[in-house]
Amino acid sequence: MLKKILTCIVSLFLLCNITHAEDINLHAKSSILVEESTGKVIYENNADEQLHPASMTKIMSMILIFEAINEGKLSLSDDVVVSKESANMGGSQVYLNEGETYKVEELLKAVSIASANDAVVALAEKVSGTKEKFVEKMNEKARILKLKNTNFINPHGLDDNNHYSSARDMAFMAKELLKYENVLSYTSKYEDYFKKKDGSSIWLVNTNKLVKFYNGMDGLKTGYTEKAGYCLTSTAKKNGLRLITVVMGEDSIENRTEDTLKLMNYGFNTIKKELILDKNKVVDKLKMDLSSKKYIDVYLKNDIVKIYDINSSKIKYNYKIKYKDNIRFPLKKGSIIGKIKVNLDDGTSLSEDLIIKENVDKIGLMKLFRKNLNIFSMGVN
């Protein structure tokens, strides 16, 4: 099987230089290609059909797990006790036994690399107390992300008639998960070992073989069940450009691989990304008479980038800044104080929130008194 996949990959590298969307012929029931930073859809076909997502479901599960870690509610070093339910999971697994204790990071590795159903259920129970409460959070997060064709019944992806998603929704789940960049340190591994409590080890081999054979690919999640067919949500980065692809309803691993490579190659061959304004650079200095600082450094909340045809010339632009009418102190780090609108020479425009990156207090009464006294004194002859 691996030899067939490798042969398919080599053939596509030699032959697949697709530069027009109409030349993309895929086997998948549903597919999409998205640029990660902007969410711009580069290509789609039947992307909103509700289909079984199989183990790609674990992308949403990992969103909630990494969210809990980011918020300090969960640590990679926390202990997880394996329940009877998680130990009895079928499908892909690392054969956990009831009552065993593992670290969050060990189980996360098993989920990310080997798509272990027992490990993801154990983590779901750790995050929310029960699998059922975790699934409620999954669906709540889907609503927050405005995913219109998604409903979860479980955290692992085994078939259920009411468990479904779409290529578009999966792509934007992947975009959300990629906010937690350390997830790629797990999903990019081709192989590792899961150490069992009896001293033995299970060899973990990534279900996404492209992380080894496709330059720049570092995730994200495969899936297969009888009803779902073969599925893959993938991501790769080259020359600062990160793409997300989803293919669903494939009839073989070979076709899943071929279709993913066609989409990736098309994206990297036809579009480029230009950073217009950097969120890490000061875009303006705002004078504030009643604050503890005379000037406040102003930043963008997010980078402003433009995705456009690879053969296009460099973009020219100008921008306008508009601050809120009533900025009240004190202000906390990250406070939104206005908006910037960037007008591009192709007739389009982009906008982004403006923030501050430090706390700013209201000027004290004594300082205000002294300031006014100085002004008064300067006016006396």
* Residue numbers annotated as active site: 55, 58, 115
Cα–Cα distance between 119 and 346 in angstroms, integer?
50
Beta bridge partners of 305: 275
Query: Residue 190: is it exposed, middle or buried by C-beta count within 10 angstroms (0-12/13-18/19+)?
Result: middle
Cα–Cα distance between 283 and 279 in angstroms, integer?
8
Beta bridge partners of 110: none
Beta bridge partners of 80: 102
User: Are 162 and 151 in contact, with CB atoms under 8 Å apart?
Assistant: yes
Cα–Cα distance between 99 and 185 in angstroms, integer?
28
Query: Residue 113: is it exposed, middle or buried by C-beta count within 10 angstroms (0-12/13-18/19+)?
Result: buried
Task: Give the list of residues 6+ apart from residue 126 with CB closer than 8 angstroms, or none.
Answer: 74, 78, 80, 104
Task: List the structure tokens of 165.
Answer: 């998603």
Cα–Cα distance between 237 and 239 in angstroms, integer?
7
Query: Residue 50: is it exposed, middle or buried by C-beta count within 10 angstroms (0-12/13-18/19+)?
Result: middle
